[in-house]
Structure 1
Amino acid sequence: MAAIGPAGSLDDRPDAAKAETVDADGRWLIPGLWDCHTHFTQWSATFGRLDLLAARSASEAMAMLRAYLDERRKAGTLSPDVFVVGMRFRHSLWSDAEQPTLAAIDEASGEQPVALSSADMHCGWVNSAAARRLGVHVDASGLVSELEWFDAYCKLDNAPGAAEESLRLLRRAEEDAASKGVVGIRDYEMAENIDSWTRRFALGIDRLRVDAGVYPERLQAAIDAGWRTGCELPGSHGLGRVGAMKLISDGSLNTRSAYCSTPYSGIEPPTRGVLSYAPAQIEDYMRLATEHGFDIACHAIGDEANTVVLNAAAATGAHGSIEHAQMLKPVDIPRFAELGLTASIQPQHAMDDRDVIARFWAHPAGIPYPFRALHDAGARLRMGSDAPVAPLDPWLAISAAVFGTESSDREPFQPEQCLDVRTALAASTAVGRDRLAPGDSADLVLLDRDPYAVRTPEEMRAMPRSVAATMVAGRWTHRTF
């Protein structure tokens, strides 16, 4: 069936005779889970690219790179014409003496073009060979940042052999998501997402509902083509829709580029971060989107960036979400509900960033990760991962939001901002509830364990092992019984 109803209420539907009766055998039933902020192509790439998340220094990262290159050479899969791509290095926690350098990556890689993306995707570490091919300038650090890196990184997907490999990894990623109870994603990949997902649905990549975001530079073309938020993607059988206009207003905490009202601590020369667009440009893009039927999904991390985008939304009547909302001035917290804007949060980022916050946001003018404050002020919360920045796994987000720590051995980060399980679970669904209701789409998850009885972060993070089945639009996308 494609919808939820009381027993017997759907018996007169035309497809009732084909319905399967399933004995759930005492399992727990919840609405299907959504990841409301992903970069799905880049997340799928983590199933096949060098992952540097465990590196604790530039030296360790280069040792991992050398080992990876040696392994590829021995396997005969290394071509001088194809980029070697690595992901998720976190240099914000490395010592000053162990930061990226061009000399180090050139020494480790030679003429093999290598491009490594930071965990937050706001900068890349490239060698000289890759810099020449990507057409970017690198200084002694080997780092490329913000918009220049976004443009360069997109070029990596057009390299020889990338299309076939991407398709294989996309299938793995959607299977993995379904196994965790995920029924839908909002995809903010920096690409022609409408075209990309139309092609993917035609190729049978159809285990997830997808809202395909549109970036500002592509907005006018989407408007001219007749698209608006909510339009069904051709050939998706109702699973794919046009999503919101995704605008990145500022940088990130880890690259010290999130736009703040006070300077970062311990940084010389002093910096407050940067805006990616002038406030007037942000307002113009929001107005264009709103006048042509597009929601907004506006990335804002620093407290001053959040003020700027909230002001722009108020001036234009924009509707949609503020993505991340990582640090907010107390005066801005009630404005989310007042303006009808959703706070799209990624609780696992708080776990990843708690030590970085102590280092670079030691004296913030706002409140970092104010989950409970937003909820108490009446804001609608929606949760996601920002994968690949954090793993595409709603149970990690729920655990982080509820327990405020990844380990029972470590005290919670800002326990006053933690959420209860029902609120966190509801924020991880499309319906905004933790219970199914008659008339809901048949997007559901069967669990072998009661999620409300979980008492530790370790147990909540292990919940994917308790996902017995996942259904999307009445079709099983994952099932263990």
Structure 2
Amino acid sequence: MMARMTTVLISNAGIPGTSERVDLLIREGRIESVTPSPSSSPSDGSAPDAVIDADGLWAIPGLWDCHTHFTQWSKTLGRLDLIDARSAAEAMAMLRSHLDARRAAGTLDPHAFVVGMRFRHSLWADDEQPTLAAIDAVAGEQPVALSSADMHCGWVNSAAARRLGVHADETTGLVGELEWFDAYTKFDKAPGAAEETDRLLREAERDAAGKGVTGIRDYEMAENIDTWAARFAAGIDKLRVRAGVYPERLEAAIAAGWHTGKPLPGSHGLGEVGAMKLISDGSLNTRSAYCSKPYSGITPATYGTLSYTPSQIARYMRLATEHGFTIACHAIGDEANAIVLDAAELTHARGSIEHAQMLRREDIPRLAALGLEASIQPQHAMDDRDVISRFWAEPAGIPYAFHSLHAARTRLRMGSDAPVAPLDPWMAISAAVFGTESSSREPFQPEQRLPVGVALAASTEVGRVRLHAGDPADVVLLDADPYAAATPEAMRAMPGHVTMTFLAGTRVH
């Protein structure tokens, strides 16, 4: 990390949504005092090492993305992005163009995987779905593997299927979620992958800092503890990181002495062990989220799937709780959420429900009653609003019940699930506040929108929009007040108003 100033005074900074101006005194990586402007010098009479005049700027706590797959998000900065494809034909046209451009540039290794990200076939017409024939026709013997937007399935050509050792449906070319989860990790072992990953991780950190992000919860499907310790040692250290642990690695982590909150070696206080991340069911887009009612328009009837049995979920929660781990439990369908809440009640687990996308009305107050947080991704509601009407036409609960959870006094934490949505808290805030991506489209479930202050607070680690004495000196200075953003377009443009970002008192943007 860059050399840290011992004492920094940020003077005359605005408090968003108010006319107040304050002086922030930073000492040794923490906020020592927050006083009305103008304030006097430090109480010990010393002069600060640096004074930053924040006249015309607003100060907020550093932003967090509380659900990321950070390595995979980083890879999107260097891989084919198919998010804008509106059909299989458009996706194949984009793939063909990508392959042609790389051939022309001399960067296409015929033996290396070409990886694409974020195709959304759940929004494509029935006659515009993926096929093995189509991807084979474009890719030939070049191994090509495309990941769906929610990362719960892959679309591969025959050459890639052979290399990965996976079963691709002979008609669609799709690989199911559990097999895909395992296959996806193999891309990082290819020749040159380590160097590319290092470069893209550093680029992703710079991108995050430019948006005012100072911390992430990382649920990459990998050995995150050792991985992040190595990254901090290598100078990839411009974010605070809570490194999640998956159930299959939990016993080994316990045996090694890890628990939630334990500092990662070499991270200088920026890295900690995070929660046990358990995926209880699938996703809406792949019709695998576990629901009590069948999906609309699907024959034969399907209710989705559980990734673990209810008893296995409870066993992992109990093991985590008894050994100092909080939980971060992925649950999307209403039945999955009910099962997860039952298991948390049985085991006294603490932590978060990740996504909580559809909740029965009677389950909404249970999160707060059980001391659980709701880790939500508001941009998913924007991406899924048309999918919901297609596959959850008669839901058993409320999809994306943001305001209902807030009204029930559940602590909200917001994130992106990057790369499913971009790592951008302002996008999440905009989706939560306005309920739409565009002023030209009506809000989705307007009754579930959140006030600006609630959404902004849920995008910070401290859970509030004001900095207090004693907080880590993670500070963002903005040249526009987010409370004044009157449209979704204005809120989504807020990254362009991030003037400075400080991490532990060090300027990283």
TM-score w.r.t. the length of structure 1 is: 0.97
Q: Matched residues in 1 for 2:43 and 2:133: separation?
A: 69
| Runs of 5+ consecutive residues of structure 1 not aligned to the other structure | none
Which SS does the other structure have where 1:260 is aligned?
coil
**Residue of 138, 160, 165 corresponding to 1:108:** 138
Q: Which residue of 1 aligns with 2:323?
A: 292
Q: 1:72: which partner in 2? A: 102
SS at match of 1:452: helix
Q: Secondary structure at the match of 2:500?
A: strand
What amino acid does structure 1 have at the position aligned with 2:408? A
Contact preservation (8 Å) 2:41, 2:47 = no
Contact 2:60 2:476 in 1 (8 A): yes
Q: Matches of 2:292 and 2:40 in 1, distance apart?
A: 58
Please point out which of 92, 109, 126 is paired with 2:156.
Answer: 126
Task: Tell me which residue corresponds to 2:288.
Answer: 257
Q: Which amino acid aligns with 2:507?
A: W
Matched, 1:45 2:92: no
Residue 199 (structure 1) shift: 1.0
Residue 414 of structure 2 is aligned to residue 387 of structure 1:
no
SS of 2:51 mapped into structure 1: coil
- Picking from 149, 172, 185, the partner of 1:154 is 185
Equivalents in 2 of 1:342, 1:242: separation in Å? 18
Corresponding letter in the other structure for 1:29: A
* Residue 216 of structure 1 pairs with residue 243 of structure 2: no
1:173-208 deviation per Cα after TM superposition (whole angstroms, max 9, x unaligned): 000000000000000000111111111111111110
Counterparts of 1:359-374 in structure 2, within 5 Å, are 359-374=390-405
CA distance in 2, matches of 1:8, 1:174: 35
Select 1:3's aligned residue among 12, 17, 30.
Answer: 30
CA contact (8 A) 1:177 1:393 kept: yes
Q: Distance in 2 between matches of 1:397 and 1:466?
A: 16
Name the structure 2 match of 1:464: 495
In the other structure, the counterpart of 1:62 is: 92
Instruction: Pick closer, same or farther for the CA change 1:10–1:309 going to 2, 3 Å.
Output: farther
Instruction: Give the deviation of 1:12 after TM superposition.
Output: 4.2
RMSD: 1.1
Question: Which string of whole-angstrom CA distances, capped at 9 and with x for unpartnered residues, describes residues 30-78 of structure 1?
Answer: 1110000000001001110000011110011111111111111111111
The Cα of 1:80 is off from its aligned counterpart by 2.0
Q: Could you tell me how far apart the structure 2 residues matched to 1:25 and 1:295 are?
A: 41
2:363 counterpart residue number: 332
Q: Please give the residue correspondences for 1:60-459 in structure 2 after superposition, counting only pairs within 5 Å.
A: 60-139=90-169, 140-459=171-490
Q: Using the alignment, how far apart are the partners of 1:246 and 1:9 within structure 2?
A: 46
- Return the alpha-carbon distance in structure 1 between the equivalents of residues 114 and 48 of structure 2: 49
Does the CA contact (< 8 Å) of 1:81 and 1:160 recur in 2? no
Instruction: Write out per-residue CA displacement over residues 251-292 of structure 1, whole angstroms, 9 at most, x where no aligned residue.
Output: 000001000000000111110100011111111110110000
Residue 300 of structure 2 aligns to a residue whose secondary structure is coil
CA distance in 1, matches of 2:217, 2:257: 20
TM-aligned CA deviation for residue 454 of structure 1: 1.1
Alpha-carbon distance in structure 2 between the residues aligned to 1:400 and 1:440: 28
Look up the SS of the partner of 1:25 in the other structure. Answer: coil
AA aligned to 1:89 is F
Report deviation, 1:19.
2.9
- Letter of the aligned partner of 2:197 in structure 1? S
Distance 1:123 1:380 in 2: 31
Contact 1:40/1:189 (<8 A) preserved? yes
Query: Secondary structure in 2 aligned to 1:392?
Result: coil
Query: Whole-Å Cα distance in 1 between the matches of residues 220 and 370 of structure 2?
Result: 26
Tell me by how many angstroms 1:82 deviates. 1.0
Note closer, same or farther for the CA distance 1:10–1:307 as it changes in structure 2 (3 Å cut).
Answer: farther
**2:53 aligned with 1:31, yes or no?**
no
Partner Cα distance (1:29, 1:18) in 2: 19
Displacement, 1:21? 1.2
| Cα distance between partner residues in 2 of 1:20 and 1:9 | 12
Q: Does structure 2 conserve the Cα–Cα contact (< 8 Å) formed by 1:201 and 1:235?
A: yes
What letter matches 1:338 in structure 2?
A
**Secondary structure of the structure 2 residue equivalent to 1:177:** helix
Letter in 1 for 2:140: G
- AA matched with 1:64: M
1:160 Cα offset (Å): 1.0
- For residue 35 of structure 1, what is the amino acid of its counterpart? D
Q: Give distance in 2, aligned partners of 1:210 and 1:277.
A: 27
Provide the identity percentage: 76
1:354 to 1:472, Cα distance in 2 relative to 1, 3 A: same
Which residue of 32, 52, 56 corresponds with 1:22?
52
| TM-fit CA distance, 1:81 | 2.0
Given the superposition, is the C-alpha separation of residues 113 and 227 from structure 1 closer, same or farther in structure 2, using an over 3 Å criterion? same
- Give 2:404's aligned amino acid: A
Cα deviation per residue 1:102-137 (whole Å; 9 max; x = unaligned)? 111111101111110000000000111111111111
Q: Distance in 2 between matches of 1:287 and 1:9?
A: 51
Asked if 1 retains the 8 angstrom alpha-carbon contact of 2:380 and 2:421, the reply is: yes
In 1, the alpha carbon distance for the partners of 2:476 and 2:121 equals 38
CA contact (8 A) 1:258 1:305 kept: yes
Cα deviation 1:149-192 (Å, max 9, x = unaligned): 10000111111110000110111100000000000000000011
Shift of 1:26: 2.5
Question: What is the aligned length?
Answer: 476
